[in-house]
Chain A
């Protein structure tokens, strides 16, 4: 999993609660990404960040928030506004945003909300 850690591996929450997923990388990569994976849907981009203190919305940002206070950390908060939060969440990083550089993924966090 190439120096990207996500914790925890499994996370359970009650509906209506906010939850924060951790993502840390020690690859000195500039860009970091959050994806959501649902069966048959591929990987959908939630948010991405090219540099510290800056981030951009992806295709499905509604109900999510992020911060990028440190180069190595990019936590994702799933808020109570996210209608269907149960999914497999993947964090990734690359040496620069734009895809011309290899993108490495973490092991993922499976979130279950009941």
Chain B
């Protein structure tokens, strides 16, 4: 079982602060790393994704940082807002292996005013 380890399990951040969620993977064949956002009772929605040919990708307030040598990637949420309160999942897959996404166990983020 190829794993993706995600931390922390839960995170509380002040409004306007930076939320940081980390993931580490084992399989060096992984070449696609998405992040999903899930609100209670809803299905996860793709937030942002990165491939290992770049070290960083930014979309609005959301940034993925990728460290290939350390086999780690992280999600940064700048200027965190109460509306960002949700559960975030990292995932990984290998296109060459044609395998489904492997998910981390999730991080529950609470942004407080």
Contact = CB atoms under 8 A, between A and B. Distances in A.
B90 to A, nearest CB: 10
Contact of A90 (B9, B44, B92, B104): B44
A3 B60 CA distance: 25
A62 interface: no
B9 A40 contact: yes
Contact of A102 (B34, B43, B105): B34
B41 interface: yes
Contacts of B44: 43, 90, 105
Interface residues of B, number: 29
B31 A100 contact: yes
Contact of A99 (B1, B6, B100): B100
A92 B34 CA distance: 14
A108 B100 contact: no
Interface in B1-57: 1, 6, 9, 31-32, 34, 36, 41-46, 49
A75 interface: no
A104 B44 CA distance: 8
Specify which of B41, B43, B104 lies most central, judged by the most chain A CB atoms within 10 Å of its CB: B43
Given A42-B104, A42-B105, A43-B89, A99 B94 contact: yes
Given A40-B9, A104-B46, A99 B93 contact: yes
A106 interface: yes
Contacts of A98: 93-95, 97-100
Contacts of A100: 31-32, 93, 95
A40 B10 CA distance: 10
Contacts of B98: 50, 97-98
Contacts of B91: 99
Interface of B: 1, 6, 9, 31-32, 34, 36, 41-46, 49, 89, 91-95, 97-101, 103-106
The 5 closest A-B pairs by CB, nearest first: A99-B93, A105-B43, A100-B95, A42-B105, A98-B98
